[in-house]
């Protein structure tokens, strides 16, 4: 037989485009329009509906960027419309969409006149069924139209002013399209779904497969029997020709895809948080409307923050959502406050993501999420398995690892082993998207791509428009039903994530294991972009630690004289957790988002400083003695951990340490405090750094530390997100100082170095304190560069085959060599407060106060020694999505500590991030608890969430070795129990309560423990 496939396929495409699609809506009548333009930020519906609406001409331009227009739609439906079994009446509203980027352009929300929400109006979901308006033949409702600009601009990554309301312009960005009441021909609509499913399947089948040709000929017969001049009248006949090929059952061994509705709504990204709130309302109203039509449809919603917004701003919709939760259709998943970044949040913050998220879902819906749900975060810390398990969850889902540029993950279903040995059942959907439409192409890819055939038989498919919201459509649900049991296709079944995980876990028992972090081989620049956002996060985490510690201490020590501010602390925690969303903290959002984040961080700091001050003053009472409040988990200057006492510091006038000597030589300066000796040349570069205990020089021969390096930073795409390896080939070392000076005081010597590079100025303060074991370096930059990256380098005389980087509740080792493509891909890595390199018997630690990006390289010198270089990334200057990213003044602090072990690095990290806090009062403050072994680090002290007044202590083994010790409560303690993160009793290996106030700890490496000390 002659091969006429392409002829028939072309015929089909044109017939669908020119005949079927126009016939879906038969008759249509324009509606009468009136409008009101919101003068500023969006207003609640109740306020908008009270305004005076003036006549609105159809087809007019509207909507400067980020503005809102309210439309009133009125008209009458002819009596004979929608009277047959195959027709119904809908209102179609085109706000000026294009169909390419749902969620990234103008959107609307339909409202009834009583202020209740109907559903969304969006590019691929622009219909409103007449029955949703309350019945009758009259049309009278409102559309809240949001002129959100398309910041993505076709993903050209070109700088755009659209991300800042102040620069986005006043010109209208859209033009109203057809707004009419129309008669929907359901038979034509169903025929279009039949064709879409079969054509998609056909194109994925091999040409030599009979099934492909069977579908082609059925489609050809359909084209033959239909009259192009009477599509509505012949659609039923066309469907009949396709019925047989649609009824053929799937192969017995076909892969099973559990499809769960989803809308990955970024809580901020190319739109501000205020718009995300409206996006959620649009999406969730769509979802609820779909559920009313199809009881089989199930939707997975992952963010407690988004549900909290619905409760606050859209209470009527929230009531409807709660009803669908009870019906099992609207299903909370994930159990986190937001889908956060997992690389940069601190340990306690990651724990609180689950505490707040799971608690909200439990309290509001009676649902405990069992899966962690992070499809789009930019890599996954090796600490996550333990945190998820400690939160009482069992499973983990991600999708983003499919973006890896070099190495492909070897499994789709596997056990993920964390840094402490915890294993977590993990699934990585082979469909390679969290925005599936259930097209034949996606389904076939999921089946072909699945790497665990022969062991597992099923995978998960989250479907629905996401990122900018929208969610599933009725077309997607129709596709799911048609592919439930269809020859040549995987079997698609609508269901919940829990159903998938339960069945997959039962069938696939001998799982392969992935150990350690899941490093994303993209988006490495997110460790550095938007430095002020990162500084705000780090500062907020540590202020929250201090606030909870001192408030809990005051509540226990003072009893009824002091009230623990539980509600205020929860509010502030939730605000911090929101900023950790995976497009806010990573610095990958528009300017508006980061301006909001910086304002939030300022307010958080102000409120927490007030809380800390109030609690501290209550604790120390009246007096004229100066006390150091030591919130660190290690003693500091004679003050015990977690307590307050007079400090043996130069500030207290009672220092046991000698002062700092400084000698000025022709070649530079020598600083020595009897513990370390630092030599700086006349350009402020560190030529030598010796700790007197070992006598070793940490700086490699022939090299200089404190070397600022300016790199060209022009990634191929995703500017704020990505750093490409080739950045290293274009570097300018900043070796010359414009000025250098020395400042002396009784307790410290400071070398001040000033430099200029391009349009930027840099001032550094290198400080050696009396009694300090590290050199402090504060770098203040007026940063005016574009597409450049600033790093600070320390070439060390250390033969290190791996580096250690702090992560949540521990640290992760990474090779310094590039033997394999997996290692070579990690050319930029994330570390929290410190990074450490060592050879047996000697190491060096570099700590920081707000940086996360680092790289570690190694080279063998001519003398046979090895130079291991630690670089901390300080600043970037990407131009998309924020063209002014990071421009302005920044202060970035770090320390370098020679002769340091891991324990020293841990201590140095806390010391750098918990600055000395002095207060004047009348009495010292005994710590609420004491831990005998400094390897066991107390991460949080707070009062219990249940309001009982019990003290909650979170601690972890910090050195990566088996550590033993005791925790003693220094207050009247009735009993102690171990709990999970949600403070529910649980068994914790190695935890033994000796008596009410003493707990014996025998902890495995990096083990995380939560204790409830009952008062």
CB 24 within 8 A of CB 127: no
Tokens of 142: 């409102």
State the catalytic residues.
376
User: C-alpha angle with apex 222: 220 to 227, nearest 5 degrees?
Assistant: 115
Residue 328: which of 501, 496, 504 has the closest Cα? Answer: 496
Residue 425: which of 444, 441, 411, 439 has the closest Cα? Answer: 411
Across the beta sheet with 87-93, the strand order is 25-30, 179-185, 87-93, 127-129
CB 234 within 8 A of CB 470: no
**What CA dihedral angle connects 286, 288, 293 and 295, to 10 degrees?**
140
Please provide the DSSP assignment of 13-60 as one string: HHHIIIIIHHHHEEEEEEPEEEEEE-SSS---HHHHTTSPPEE--TT-
- The C-alpha atoms of residue 405 and residue 726 are separated, in whole angstroms, by 14
CA 750, 754, 757, 760 torsion-angle sign: positive
Q: Is 372 helix (H, G, I), strand (E, B) or coil?
A: strand
Residues 6+ apart with CB under 8 A from 636: 628, 630, 647, 911, 916
DSSP at 703: -
- The C-alpha atoms of residue 131 and residue 115 are separated, in whole angstroms, by 17
Q: Map 864-931 to HEC letters.
A: CCEEEEEEEEEECCCCCCCCCCCCEEEEEEEEEEECCCHHHHHHHHHHHHCCCEEEEECCCECCCEEE
**Could you give the residue ranges of the DSSP H alpha helices within 173-314?**
186-204, 210-225, 231-247, 273-293, 304-313
**Length reported for the chain:** 1015
Tokens of 255: 């892969």
CB 203 within 8 A of CB 440: yes
CB 524 within 8 A of CB 853: yes
User: C-alpha angle with apex 498: 493 to 502, nearest 5 degrees?
Assistant: 90
- The C-alpha atoms of residue 661 and residue 670 are separated, in whole angstroms, by 8
């Amino acid at each position: 037989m002659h091969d006429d496939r392409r002829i028939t396929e072309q015929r089909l495409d044109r017939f669908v485009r020119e005949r079927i699609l126009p016939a879906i809506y038969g008759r249509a009548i324009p509606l009468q329009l009136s409008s009101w333009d919101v003068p500023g930020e969006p207003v609640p519906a109740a306020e908008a509906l009270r305004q005076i609406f003036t006549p609105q001409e159809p087809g007019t331009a509207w909507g400067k960027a980020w503005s809102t227009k309210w439309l009133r739609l009125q008209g009458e439906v002819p009596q004979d419309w929608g009277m047959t079994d195959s027709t119904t009446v809908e209102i179609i509203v085109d706000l000026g969409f294009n169909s390419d980027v749902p969620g990234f352009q103008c959107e609307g929300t339909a409202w009834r006149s009583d202020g209740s929400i109907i559903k969304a109006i969006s590019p691929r979901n622009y219909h409103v069924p007449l029955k949703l308006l309350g019945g009758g033949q009259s049309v009278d409702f409102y559309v809240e139209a949001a002129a959100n600009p398309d910041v993505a601009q076709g993903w050209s990554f070109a700088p755009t002013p659209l991300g800042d309301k102040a620069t986005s312009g006043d010109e209208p960005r859209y033009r109203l399209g057809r707004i009419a009441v129309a008669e929907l021909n359901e038979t034509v609509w169903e025929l279009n779904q039949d064709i879409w499913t079969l054509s998609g399947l056909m194109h994925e089948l091999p040409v030599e497969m009979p099934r492909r040709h069977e579908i082609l000929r059925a489609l050809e017969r359909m084209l033959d029997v239909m009259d192009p001049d009477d599509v509505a009248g012949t659609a039923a006949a066309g469907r009949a020709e396709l019925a047989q090929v649609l009824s053929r059952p799937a192969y017995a061994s076909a892969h099973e895809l559990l499809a769960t509705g989803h809308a990955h709504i970024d809580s901020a990204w190319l739109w501000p948080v205020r718009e995300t709130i409206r996006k959620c309302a649009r999406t969730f109203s769509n979802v609820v409307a779909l559920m009313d039509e199809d009881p089989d449809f199930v939707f997975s919603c992952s963010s407690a923050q988004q549900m909290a917004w619905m409760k606050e701003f859209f209470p009527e919709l929230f009531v409807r959502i709660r009803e669908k939760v009870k019906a099992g259709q609207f299903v909370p998943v994930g159990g986190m406050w937001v889908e956060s970044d997992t690389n940069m949040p601190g340990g306690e913050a990651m724990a609180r993501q689950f505490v707040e998220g799971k608690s909200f879902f439990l309290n509001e819906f009676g649902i405990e999420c069992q899966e962690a749900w992070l499809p789009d975060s930019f890599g996954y810390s090796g600490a996550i398995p333990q945190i998820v398990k400690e939160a009482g969850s069992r499973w983990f889902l991600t999708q983003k690892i499919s973006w890896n540029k070099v190495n492909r993950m070897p499994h789709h279903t596997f056990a993920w082993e964390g840094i402490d040995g915890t294993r977590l059942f993990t699934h990585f959907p082979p469909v390679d998207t969290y925005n599936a439409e259930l097209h034949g192409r996606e389904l076939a890819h999921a089946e072909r791509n699945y790497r665990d055939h022969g062991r597992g038989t099923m995978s998960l498919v989250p479907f629905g428009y996401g990122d900018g919201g929208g969610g599933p459509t009725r077309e997607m649900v129709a596709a799911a039903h048609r592919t439930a049991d269809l020859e040549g296709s995987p079997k698609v079944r609508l269901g919940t994530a829990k159903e998938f995980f339960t069945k997959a876990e039962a069938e696939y028992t001998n799982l392969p294991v992935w150990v350690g972090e899941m490093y994303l081989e993209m988006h490495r620049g997110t460790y550095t972009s938007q430095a002020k956002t990162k500084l705000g996060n780090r500062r907020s985490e540590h202020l929250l630690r201090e606030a909870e510690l001192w408030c809990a201490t005051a509540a226990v020590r003072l009893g009824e004289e002091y009230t623990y501010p539980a509600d205020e602390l929860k509010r502030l925690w939730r605000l911090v957790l929101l900023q950790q969303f995976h497009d806010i903290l990573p610095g990958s959002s528009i300017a508006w988002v980061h301006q909001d984040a910086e304002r939030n961080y300022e307010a958080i700091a102000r409120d927490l400083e007030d809380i800390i001050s109030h609690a501290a003053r209550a604790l120390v009472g009246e007096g004229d003695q100066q006390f150091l409040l030591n919130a660190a988990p290690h003693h500091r200057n004679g003050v015990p951990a977690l307590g307050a006492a007079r400090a043996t510091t130069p500030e207290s006038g009672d220092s046991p340490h000698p002062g700092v000597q400084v000698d000025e030589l022709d070649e530079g300066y020598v600083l020595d405090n009897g513990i370390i000796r630092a030599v700086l040349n006349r350009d402020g570069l560190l030529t030598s750094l010796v700790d007197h205990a070992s006598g070793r020089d940490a700086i490699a021969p022939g090299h200089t530390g404190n070397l600022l390096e300016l790199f060209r930073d022009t990634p191929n795409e995703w500017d704020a997100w990505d750093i490409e390896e080739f950045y290293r080939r274009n570097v300018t070392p900043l070796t010359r100082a414009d000025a250098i000076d020395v400042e002396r005081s009784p307790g410290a010597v400071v070398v001040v170095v000033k430099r200029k590079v391009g349009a930027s100025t840099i001032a550094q303060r290198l400080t050696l304190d009396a009694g300090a074991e590290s050199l402090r370096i504060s770098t203040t930059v007026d940063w005016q560069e574009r597409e450049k990256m600033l790093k600070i380098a320390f070439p060390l005389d250390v033969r290190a085959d791996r580096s250690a980087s702090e992560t949540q509740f521990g640290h992760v080792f990474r090779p310094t060599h590039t033997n394999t493509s997996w290692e070579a891909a990690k050319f930029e890595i994330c570390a929290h407060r410190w990074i450490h390199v060592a050879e047996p018997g000697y190491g060096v630690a570099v700590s920081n106060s707000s940086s996360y990006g680092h790289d570690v390289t190694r080279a063998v010198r001519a003398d046979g020694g090895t130079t291991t270089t630690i670089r901390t990334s300080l600043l970037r200057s990407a131009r998309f999505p924020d063209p002014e990213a990071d421009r302005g003044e920044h202060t970035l602090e770090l320390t370098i500590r020679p002769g340091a072990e891991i324990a020293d690095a841990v201590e140095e990290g806390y010391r750098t991030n918990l600055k000395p806090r002095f207060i004047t009062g009348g009495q010292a403050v005994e710590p609420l608890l004491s831990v005998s072994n400094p390897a066991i680090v107390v991460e949080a002290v707070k009062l219990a969430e249940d309001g009982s007044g019990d003290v909650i202590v979170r601690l972890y083994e910090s050195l990566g070795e088996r550590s033993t010790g005791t925790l003693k409560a220094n207050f009247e303690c009735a009993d102690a129990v171990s709990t999970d993160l949600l403070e529910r009793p649980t068994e914790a290996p190695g935890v033994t309560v000796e008596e009410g106030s003493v707990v014996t700890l025998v902890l495995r490496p990096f083990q995380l423990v939560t204790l409830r000390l009952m008062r």
